[in-house]
Amino acid sequence: MKATVDWTGNASFKATSGSGHSVQLDGPPDHGGENLGPRPMEMLLMGVGGCSAFDVMSILKKSRQDVTACHTELEAERADAVPAVFTKIHLHFVVSGHGLKENLVKRAVSLSAEKYCSASIMLGKAGVEITHSYEIRDPA
Measure the CA–CA gap between 85 and 88, rounded to whole angstroms. Answer: 9
Buried b (16+ CB within 10 A) or exposed e, 44-54: ebeebbebbbb
Check residue 47 and give its pLDDT.
97
Measure the CA–CA gap between 70 and 22, rounded to whole angstroms. Answer: 24
Domain 40-137 has CATH 3.40.50.12160: no
- The residues spanned by each domain of the chain are 1-38, 40-137
* CATH architecture label of 1-38: Single Sheet (2.20)
Q: Which residues of the chain have pLDDT under 70?
A: none
C-alpha of 1 from chain center = 18
Q: What is the pTM of this model?
A: 0.93
How many CA within 13 A on the CB side of residue 85?
8
Beta bridge partners of 129: 88
Query: What residues contact residue 21 under an 8 Å CB cut-off, 6+ apart?
Result: none
Check residue 140 and give its pLDDT.
74
